[in-house]
Amino acid sequence: MIEINGLNKKFGKLQVLDNVSLGFNKGECVALIGPNGCGKTTLIKSILGMVVPDSGSIHFDGKDVKHQHAYRERIGYMPQIGRYPENMSIERILTTVQSLRGYTGELDSDLMQHFNIKAIADKRMRTLSGGTTQKVSACLAFMFNPDVLILDEPTAGLDPLASEILKEKIIEEKSKGKLILITSHLLSELDDLVTSIVFMQEGTIKFHLPVQELLQSTSESKLSKAIASVLRQENAFKHATSNQLQS
């Protein structure tokens, strides 16, 4: 559904994305993980067209997304830190986005009900706590029944209860056959969600593996441990090679 080919992006001298190629399909729930500043968010923003890559291409359903905008109708995006016009009320934000999308289908208001957004609908965005803002972001991402959900650190800042609600919603949407992209550095959060893992470091893809395969090859039962062991192997290999070079 999403094909990324040889994507490069530099911010000044910093190479944020270095020849990234990836492919995601329907029904997958992909976790994008990696240390801070590895290029996860830039990759996501590139898919959304918010960051313009220096080279490489992104295809959405077989179509190049460069200078396009219509494809975004099919994406729900929940940013890492939701930033909204301060003077708008929650309701205004929701209706504005709805009218911008020209969405006429049935609204998915599950999250709104579970988060009880209605009770605070007339509050202005600047009065909201970080967690509540995240709830609004989540609602916006799911509201229009998109085929693809891109969630940037979705559970950061949410309380455990809300976090659980969101997870359940993600699982529900996955079961409907949607593509879900999640970035997170809390590996434990992802255990029961994801079907495959993309690990990024310094702008490159270290590995892209289905969860089953990852667990098997490292003979671990937990995702976090499996990843840790993969990284250890890599480091050991690196050390070995660098030692070889030095000697």
Partner 1 sequence: MNKITRFVITDIVRNKIMIVYALLLAALSWGVFSMEDNVSKGMLTILNLILLNVPLVAVIFSTIYLYNSSEFIELLLSQPVKRSRIWWSLFSGLQLALLLAFVLGAGIPILIFSPDALGITMLLVGVMVNAIFVALAFLGSILTRDKAKGIGMAIMLWLFFALLFDGLVLFLLFQFSDYPIEKVMVVISTLSPIDLSRILVLLQMDVSAMMGYSGAIFREFFGTTSGIGICFTILLLWIAVPFLISLRKFNRKDL
Contact region with partner 1 (CB under 8 A), list: 84-92, 107-115, 171-179, 192-200: 84-92
Question: Considering the complex, what minimum distance in angstroms separates the CB of residue 107 from partner 1?
Answer: 15
Per-residue binding letters, 6-25, with partner 1 (x by CB under 8 A): ---x-x--------------
C-beta of 4 vs 187, nearer to partner 1: 4
Question: Considering the complex, what minimum distance in angstroms separates the CB of residue 150 from partner 1?
Answer: 9
Rounded to whole angstroms, the Cα distance separating 244 from 110 reads 57
Residues 90-119 that bind partner 1 (CB under 8 A): 93, 96-97, 99-101
Q: If we measure between CA atoms, which residue out of 78, 75, 103 comes closest to residue 2?
A: 75
Q: If we measure between CA atoms, which residue out of 150, 128, 127 comes closest to residue 60?
A: 150
Q: Binding of partner 1 at residue 237 (CB under 8 A)?
A: no
Q: In the Cβ-directed half-sphere of 116, how many Cα atoms lie within 13 Å?
A: 3
Q: Edge to edge, what strands does the sheet with 63-64 contain? A: 14-24, 2-11, 55-60, 63-64
Question: Considering the complex, what minimum distance in angstroms separates the CB of residue 152 from partner 1?
Answer: 10
Binding site for partner 1 (CB under 8 A): 9, 11, 45, 48-52, 69-73, 75, 77, 79, 83-87, 93, 96-97, 99-101
